[in-house]
Structure 1
Amino acid sequence: MMAPDSSDGVTSCACKGIRRCLKCEKLRGKGQLEANEPKLVHRLRYDPETGLAIHKHAEATSFPFPGVFLQENFISEEEEKNLISTMDQDVWNESQSGRRKQDFGPKVNFKKRKVRIGGFSGLPALSQKLVLRMQQEPSLGGFQPVEQCNLDYHPQRGSAIDPHLDDSWLWGERLVTINMLSDTTLTMSLEQGLPDLGLAGEVQVAVHLPRRSLVVLYGEARHRWKHAIHRDDVQERRVCSTYRELSAEFLPGGQQAELGTQLLNISLSFQGTPI
């Protein structure tokens, strides 16, 4: 049964710390959210054809932006419809910054570096053919996801996700996301800038994500550049599915290879329900 959408209420939300959504801003105000924004920000856009980060001023610095693979129309309109319909039959849990989520993965305490199988029953059945399709891409050879997180963004909730780097103790080299229901922009940022290229101050690179596209972050885009979805870039409902693989520590030859094998066997059974 589909969970009710409580986005119009103002009684509670899932935001903690400096996180904010429109719901809690009605209660607590916007606070000093922009206080730490640097005075100088260089804004560029990613060109998937050339792999360059391009400045809006042609005479300004452009540079190769490593670690992004983008494929448009990775899923069809019919597949998108079926995926969203199936997701909406499960419960969406409130998450921070106005998002809702569904998790298919082990229970993890990243601070204590502990993984517990718990109620993990695998990735959802509809993901099996998508994973097989991913594995046909040269940049995703051998990709075996052990976790899937579905996120639901909506402008009425002020949904966003702050600039961050994903964990690299448990999660491996490639982060894979399918973008659904609307176009959006993935903002890559490097706070320390690129002084060697004459770009002092923060550098931001906007990666346009078309509806039904697939994006892969790896290399420097995975480990050096933070990624975010800004509130202003969520104009309509947006749902994404992000898939993560295991790090070397949990693969054959790693210190926790046995646990990694257990997790992969469960994950790739494709019998999962949200936890």
Structure 2
Amino acid sequence: MADKQGIVNCGCKGIRTCLLCEASNEKRHLLNNKLLVHYDFRYDPESKLAVPAEGSGQQPFPFPGVFLWDNFVSESEEKQLVAKMDQDVWRASQSGRHKQDYGPKVNFKKRRIHLGGYSGLPVVSYKLVDRMTKEPLLAGFRPVEQCNLDYSPERGSAIDPHLDDSWLWGERLVTLNLLSDTVVTMSLDEGWADMHHGEVRVAVNLPRRCLLAMYGEARHRWKHAIYRQDVHSRRVCSTFRELSAEFLEGGEEEKMGSELLNIASSFRGVPL
């Protein structure tokens, strides 16, 4: 049976799974995202501390590199943005997600970029990018990629802990969260100092219509994930990525970077 976007297949590869492929005998043994995840700490945006669970005996600690902008868009803007996305094709992606890409084709292992049909960011994002760059932390932010993702509890949508590439993508990762609240789980595999051993997880609450920016340690040291338990209803997000220094003025790939920036800033893009 097709879902409301008309997509019936799953896009999982390798060890990635969703509820669609886990129903088959072929992948039943790969259930890697079904168990509830325990959070050691929760991020407090007021104090910018990771606060331990009550009764854990742990101490809070500074958690730099997370910026939250509540109500970045209004309810009417949210409705318009999602309606525009739904006019375009959502393609099946891994881990039960659906995807729309506005960016170049990249082979990260071989470090190759193909412009292909890349035509820039979509027109609806012009005002969003202009608004976010009014924030001092995001001054000069010039994204060359926008990735729209659709999460659904019926598909078991999730994304495993990972670090975004830092060869092509720059210091700041920016995500606009739409339609429902969720939790971004930040994790370190081995902990740090003498107080924390083994994996450490920090839950960052991400309200509906909130903008999240990650930079510094949260961008380069802490992995981020969204688990099934934190997708309660349809969630749509747009993630924007800027170029690394290698692709900017004075970098070895300045020419390619300049071409990507020129295409992105046309705001005439269609999803690939």
**TM-score band, normalised by shorter chain:** over 0.9
Q: d(CA) in 2 for partners of 1:247 and 1:108?
A: 14
1:203 to 200, 204, 208: 200
Shift of residue 43, structure 1, vs aligned partner: 1.1
1:173 aligns with 2:171: yes
Shift of residue 4, structure 1, vs aligned partner: 5.7
The answer as to whether partners of 1:188 and 1:207 remain within 8 angstroms in 2 is: yes
1:1-275 equivalent positions in 2, closer than 5 A: 5-6=5-6, 9=8, 12-27=9-24, 28-33=26-31, 43-57=40-54, 59-196=57-194, 198-275=195-272
Q: What SS does the corresponding residue of 1:60 show, helix, strand or coil? A: coil
Shift of residue 60, structure 1, vs aligned partner: 2.0
Q: What SS does the corresponding residue of 1:31 show, helix, strand or coil? A: helix
Shift of residue 56, structure 1, vs aligned partner: 1.3
Task: Give TM-score scaled by structure 1 length.
Answer: 0.93
Shift of residue 5, structure 1, vs aligned partner: 2.8
Shift of residue 24, structure 1, vs aligned partner: 0.3
CA RMSD of aligned residues (A): 1.8
Q: d(CA) in 1 for partners of 2:39 and 2:97?
A: 28
Q: Which amino acid aligns with 2:5?
A: D
Shift of residue 116, structure 1, vs aligned partner: 1.1
The answer as to whether partners of 2:162 and 2:223 remain within 8 angstroms in 1 is: yes
The answer as to whether partners of 2:22 and 2:30 remain within 8 angstroms in 1 is: no
Shift of residue 34, structure 1, vs aligned partner: 5.2
CA offsets, 1:36-62, max 9 Å, x none? x9xx97610000011000001364211
Q: d(CA) in 1 for partners of 2:4 and 2:31?
A: 30
Shift of residue 94, structure 1, vs aligned partner: 0.4
Shift of residue 67, structure 1, vs aligned partner: 0.5
Q: What SS does the corresponding residue of 1:130 show, helix, strand or coil? A: helix
Q: d(CA) in 2 for partners of 1:47 and 1:30?
A: 38
Q: Percent identity?
A: 63
Aligned residues: 266
The answer as to whether partners of 1:172 and 1:244 remain within 8 angstroms in 2 is: yes
- Structure 2: which 5+ runs fail to align? none
Shift of residue 29, structure 1, vs aligned partner: 4.5
Shift of residue 31, structure 1, vs aligned partner: 1.7
Q: What SS does the corresponding residue of 2:40 show, helix, strand or coil? A: strand
Task: Give TM-score scaled by structure 2 length.
Answer: 0.94
- Structure 1: which 5+ runs fail to align? none
The answer as to whether partners of 1:42 and 1:201 remain within 8 angstroms in 2 is: no
The answer as to whether partners of 2:17 and 2:30 remain within 8 angstroms in 1 is: no
